[in-house]
Amino acid sequence: MLAGYAVPDFVSEFWHYYIAAISIAGIIFSLWVLSSQTTKKLAEGEQAELMVHTWDGDLQELNNPLPRWWMWMFIGLTFFGIVYLVLYPGLGKYAGTLGWSSFQEWKDDKDTVDAEFDKVMAPFKSQDLMAVAADPKAKEMGQNLFMTYCSQCHGSSAQGGKGFPNLTDGQWLFGGTPEDIQASITGGRIAEMPPMGDAVGGEQGAKEVANYVLSLGGKPHDATLAAAGQAKFVACAGCHGENGKGMAVASFPDLTDDAWQYGGSESAIVQSILKGRKGGMPAQSQAAGGALNDSKIHLLAAYVWGLGGGKKPAAPAPAEAMAAPAEAVAAPAAN
Ligand code: HEC
Ligand code: HEC
């Protein structure tokens, strides 16, 4: 936290004294100018000094002393400035006796807004995520949060883009149950595939394996290349499975579906193989350095779950299982 440092940007003590000295010298200089101009006081019956210039024939300038009201206003404002500099940061890195900082003010404002939001959230927070997903008001708030915190990567419709997964298609790298989604948001996710060029024999080998991958998914491919790639797919099977269908639990993607994070063309697959892939979803919880508290994550998880791709919890707690209709219990395996 920044407590005690009003201005943490000074790299050396010199600038602290430099700025403070200029501010103080400025105040002293103004007071000196004022006093030097107000010492003349007209004695009884004395005429103000006549300055040399004359305009428009007969318009003359007299050197009268400054009006008292003006002088007192000047002194008053100077005094205000001095009090201000004692109370608030302004002299170099001196923090001021009130300890005010723009950071603290921002934080207090934010805490107030968060507290307001939590009040609105309270009824949802205690609710089951799937119930929240069905609530239109929660959906609207979830969408607003999504626009603010997630759309820059996952797109405003949550359908992703190159490198960023589609959250609406029911294909999950890290699982689509309410708990899985909440965990993805809370702690972030990283899936990593090392560059595999050497393992498949360079670019030509990658092309062959890519065609074999396309054949596994029943997509248009070059049969000769695919046949040559089949044996090389051994290098991939450990992670993506013998049949390329991936292993949802271990976050290795299915290569036979249409849900491509990095593209499903031959050349995009070749790039995936040669360069490797490493997607990074940043952790969002405040505990992990993100911006979201538990209430917001709960709402967002419900929103994402409700976008159409959410899976039912695989193993509901016994009490829930009894209450839930039979088909809700027989959930499909994740991914
Ligand atoms: C900086 C970009 C970025 C931001 C911001 C971001 N994500 Fe992600 N997210 C990703 C990437 C990349 C992945 C895939 C990670 C991987 O491939 O290893 C991902 C994965 C996910 C997953 C898991 C998908 C799966 O297939 O299992 C969920 C759920 C998710 N994000 C939700 C969110 C939500 C909700 C937000 C907003 C709070 C958000 N993300 C913000 C980049 C981002
Ligand atoms: C060590 C485990 C591992 C091995 C070995 C591996 N992969 Fe991967 N692969 C992954 C992971 C994890 C991802 C997801 C990366 C991400 O989400 O950022 C991935 C992603 C991909 C993708 C991108 C999928 C998409 O949705 O765009 C392709 C294509 C792919 N792998 C093909 C292959 C092929 C072909 C091989 C063998 C030459 C191979 N992988 C070997 C772990 C592996």
What CATH number is associated with residue 323? Answer: 1.10.760.10
pLDDT of residue 214: 96
pTM, two decimal places = 0.73
pLDDT of residue 329: 41
* Mean pLDDT, residues 101-115 taken together: 90
Residue 2 lies in a domain: yes
Q: Which residues pair with 49 in a beta bridge?
A: 63
pLDDT of residue 230: 95
CA-closest residue to ligand 2 atom 11: 193
The secondary structure of residue 62, as a DSSP letter, is E
Confidence of residue 335 (pLDDT cuts 50, 70, 90): very low
Which residue type does 72 have? W
Domain boundary among 80, 100, 120: 100
pLDDT of residue 35: 83
Q: How far is the CA of 197 from the centre of ligand 2 (A)?
A: 12
Quote the mean pLDDT of the chain: 86
Judged against a pLDDT cut of 60, whether residue 328 lies above it is answered with: no
* Residue 135 and residue 195 in one domain: no
* Residue 317 and residue 230 in one domain: no
Nearest-angstrom CA–CA distance, 292 and 215: 43
* Residue 169 and residue 226 in one domain: no
Q: Closest ligand 1 atom to the C-alpha of 304?
A: 35
pLDDT 10s digits, 154-164: 999 999 999 99
* Mean pLDDT, residues 201-223 taken together: 95
pLDDT of residue 117: 85
In sequence order, which residues have a C-beta less than 8 Å from that of residue 138 and are 6 or more positions away?
A: 124, 132, 299, 302, 303
Nearest-angstrom CA–CA distance, 203 and 206: 5
* Residue 118 and residue 183 in one domain: yes
Q: How far is the CA of 311 from the centre of ligand 2 (A)?
A: 23
Q: DSSP H helical segments within the chain, as ranges?
A: 13-38, 68-87, 102-125, 129-133, 136-149, 151-154, 178-187, 197-200, 202-216, 223-230, 234-240, 266-275, 294-305, 318-323, 326-329
Lookup result for tokens 């994550």: 297
* Residue 170 and residue 87 in one domain: no
Q: How far is the CA of 127 from the centre of ligand 1 (A)?
A: 24
Residue 15's CB: how many other CB atoms inside 10 A?
A: 14
* Best-predicted range by mean pLDDT (9-18, 59-68, 228-237, 239-248): 228-237
Q: Which domain holds residue 310?
A: 108-188+282-329
Judged against a pLDDT cut of 60, whether residue 322 lies above it is answered with: no
141 C-beta closer than 6 A to ligand 2: no
* Residue 2 and residue 135 in one domain: no
The secondary structure of residue 164, as a DSSP letter, is B
* Residue 297 and residue 234 in one domain: no
* Mean pLDDT, residues 299-315 taken together: 89
pLDDT of residue 58: 84
Is the backbone of residue 218 left (phi > 0), alpha (psi -120 to 50) or beta? left
Which residue type does 305 have? W
Pocket test for ligand 1, best of 146, 154, 278, 305 (most atoms within 8 A of CB): 154
Judged against a pLDDT cut of 70, whether residue 248 lies above it is answered with: no
* Best-predicted range by mean pLDDT (7-11, 101-105, 111-115, 281-285): 281-285
* Residue 75 and residue 160 in one domain: no
Q: How far is the CA of 298 from the centre of ligand 1 (A)?
A: 15
* Residue 146 and residue 222 in one domain: no
Judged against a pLDDT cut of 80, whether residue 301 lies above it is answered with: yes
Judged against a pLDDT cut of 70, whether residue 327 lies above it is answered with: no
> Taking the CA of residue 268 as centre, how many other CA atoms within 13 Å lie in the half-sphere pointing to its CB?
10
Residue 335 lies in a domain: no
Confidence of residue 2 (pLDDT cuts 50, 70, 90): very low
Q: How far is the CA of 246 from the centre of ligand 2 (A)?
A: 9
212 C-beta closer than 6 A to ligand 2: no
* Mean pLDDT, residues 63-67 taken together: 78
Q: DSSP H helical segments within 88-222, as ranges?
A: 102-125, 129-133, 136-149, 151-154, 178-187, 197-200, 202-216
Find the largest Cα–Cα distance for the chain. 117
How many percent of the chain have pLDDT more than 70?
88
pLDDT of residue 61: 82
Confidence of residue 49 (pLDDT cuts 50, 70, 90): confident
Q: How far is the CA of 260 from the centre of ligand 2 (A)?
A: 11
CA-closest residue to ligand 1 atom 31: 281
pLDDT of residue 90: 85
277 C-beta closer than 6 A to ligand 2: yes
Q: How far is the CA of 185 from the centre of ligand 2 (A)?
A: 22
Residue 201 lies in a domain: yes
Domain count, the chain: 3
Pocket test for ligand 1, best of 189, 305, 311 (most atoms within 8 A of CB): 189
* Mean pLDDT, residues 158-177 taken together: 92
